Amino acid sequence: MKLWGGRFSKSTDALVDDFNSSIRFDSRMYRQDILGSIAHAKMLGKCGIIPQKDSDLIQKTLKEILEDIENGRVEFEIDAEDIHMNIEKILISRIGDAGKKLHTGRSRNDQVALDIRMYLKDEINTIIDMLKDLQRTIIVISENNLDTILPGYTHLQRAQPITLAHHVMAYFQMFARDIERLKDCYKRTNVLPLGSGALAGTTYPIDREMVAQELGFDRISENSLDAVSDRDFAIELASCISIIMMHLSRFSEELILWSSHEFSFVEMDDAYSTGSSIMPQKKNPDVAELVRGKTGRVYGSLTSLLVTMKSLPLAYNKDMQEDKEAIFDAVDTVKMCLPVFTKMLATMKINKQNMYEAARGGFTNATDVADYLVKKGIPFRSAHEIVGRMVSYCIKNSKGIDQLSMDEFKLFSPQIEEDIYEEISLEKCVSGRKLPGGPARESVMASIEKAKQLLDE
């Protein structure tokens, strides 16, 4: 008989049991469910709501059940529906009527809200740690490539020369924002819903603040209706993870392009590449491609959560059982992607000479020619027009700007002198941009030092 079956005169159909059950996916919250129940039982005993001896026995037995689960000695049952009922059923089977007192003053509605908050708090911290590992790898690559020049792009067209250090540190900043978002999401997840009951709280004199302190929550929820029906924190986390995956996907896309023969900027390590079943020459960046592909999967989880919640009246509705698979899958996916992406990045070979040669093409120093003319007293818009004509001339004559003779330079402006060759060298184009946030060596080194401090905080 179901623990809630007193009102029913007929057993649930086996198909309904299977359809209704969530134990297949919510069993992963067993630890959080048991820890929440231990704190609840402890509070019930301290407040005199149940006898202290029963409270002590419940706590002791729940700890034993936790140990048994972790040692593979417990098998969950589908007809017990979910992790909450499974554990309570095991508890009652072991200690009888004393176990039936555990659920005093709570509902599965506030219980599941507690469990998923506790579970996601742990996962948020895990994801943050993974992001920091990735950031440390980025810093290592940056420190080793402070002088590695490559073209920066806009519209996927060569634009201006920068360094690889500057380029990858842009991703450090993206992941830093991701960590900020996760920490902020943690604040709203770290609210105790237990004590809200099914929707209207309880008449028992429970101590919610005590339970919050026992379980490490910053505060308790302020409205029982909202507490049991709120899944904003799960949606927010799915959004945070979606943005993380978007950043990983952008990074992956660049690495996929860079590892192509057309770019040949990087080569993935054999351990993080795959081959073709028919073309023996192939070395495919499948890790990066899978990360890019799994991004869409996470977006789907976010959309699923939003659509599930969009029309639900207060308070709890069974639809909300659908929240778990979506958020669990989003969490699992980003946790799968981050470590393998980090190792792929750490082991890739960087072809510095190919990067440099690419930066020499595409007139990446054209803006610096215009800036040179401005320094000679020519208005920027006039300088822009002059350099445009200069580039057109170079294209027709298959030359780079730095390959023009002084006589050719004079065709476009009499103000141009011999010093232009030094001023528009790739090295000078990069080193001249030493403003905070720029690509010059000293600017990137300062950025790296700030990044290290951020990681140490």
Predicted local distance difference test score (pLDDT) of residue 6: 61
Task: Please report, as a single letter, which amino acid is at residue 149.
Answer: I
How confident is the model at residue 81, as a pLDDT? 82
> Cα angle vertex 260, ends 361, 362, to 5°?
10
One domain for residues 59 and 143? no
- Co-location of 180 and 284 in the same domain: yes
Query: Do 344 and 368 sit in the same domain of this protein?
Result: no
Over the stretch 404-451, which tens digit does the pLDDT of each residue have?
999 999 999 999 999 999 999 999 999 999 999 999 999 999 999 999
Is the pLDDT score of 9 beyond 70? no
Give the end of a domain, one of 337, 357, 377.
357
Is the same domain home to 298 and 236? yes
84 with 224, same domain: the answer is no
Is 311 considered catalytic here?
A: no
Active-site residue, selected from the candidate residues 155, 277, 398, 405: 155
Other CB atoms within 10 A of residue 411 CB: 13
Per the listing, tokens 């999967």 go with 297
- Do 379 and 353 share a domain, yes or no? no
- 211 occurs within a structural domain: no
- The string of pLDDT tens digits covering residues 356-412 is 999 999 999 999 999 999 999 999 999 999 999 999 999 999 999 999 999 999 999
* Whether pLDDT at 31 is above 50: yes
pLDDT for position 246: 98
How confident is residue 78, by pLDDT bands cut at 50, 70 and 90? confident
User: Is 155 among the residues known to form the active site?
Assistant: yes
Cβ-based neighbours of 244, under 8 Å, separated by 6 or more: 127, 131, 175, 178, 334, 338
- Could you tell me if 51 and 84 lie in one domain? yes
What's the CATH number where 262 sits?
1.20.200.10
For 428, the domain range is 360-445
In a domain, 209, yes or no: no
168 and 288 both lie in a single domain = yes
Q: Are residues 371 and 433 in the same domain?
A: yes
CATH no. for residue 27?
Answer: 1.10.275.10
Same domain for 369 and 410: yes
What pLDDT, on the 0 to 100 scale, is given for residue 4? 47
**Residue 124 forms part of a structural domain:** yes
Domain assignment of residue 19, yes or no: yes
- Provide the CATH number for the domain around residue 410: 1.10.40.30
451 in a structural domain: no
Does residue 210 fall inside a structural domain? Answer: no
Give exposure, 116-126, as e/b (b: 16+ Cβ within 10 Å): bbbbbbebbee
| Catalytic residue, candidates 260, 276, 382, 392 | 276
Per-residue pLDDT tens over the stretch 129-153? 999 999 999 999 999 999 999 999 9
Q: Any idea which of 25-29, 342-346, 371-375 has the lowest mean pLDDT?
A: 25-29
The 3-class SS string of 6-35 reads HHCCCCCCHHHHHHHCCHHHHHHHHHHHHH
Q: Which of 304, 325, 357 is the last residue of a domain?
A: 357
- Among 75, 104, 133, residue at a domain's last position: 104
Residues 303, 232 within the same domain = yes
Q: What's the total number of domains in the chain? A: 3
Which parts of 144-260 fold into alpha helices (H)?
164-189, 208-215, 224-229, 232-258
Domain for residue 113, yes or no? Answer: no
**Quick check: is 95 in a domain?**
yes
Same domain, 316 and 180: yes
pLDDT at 285 over 50: yes
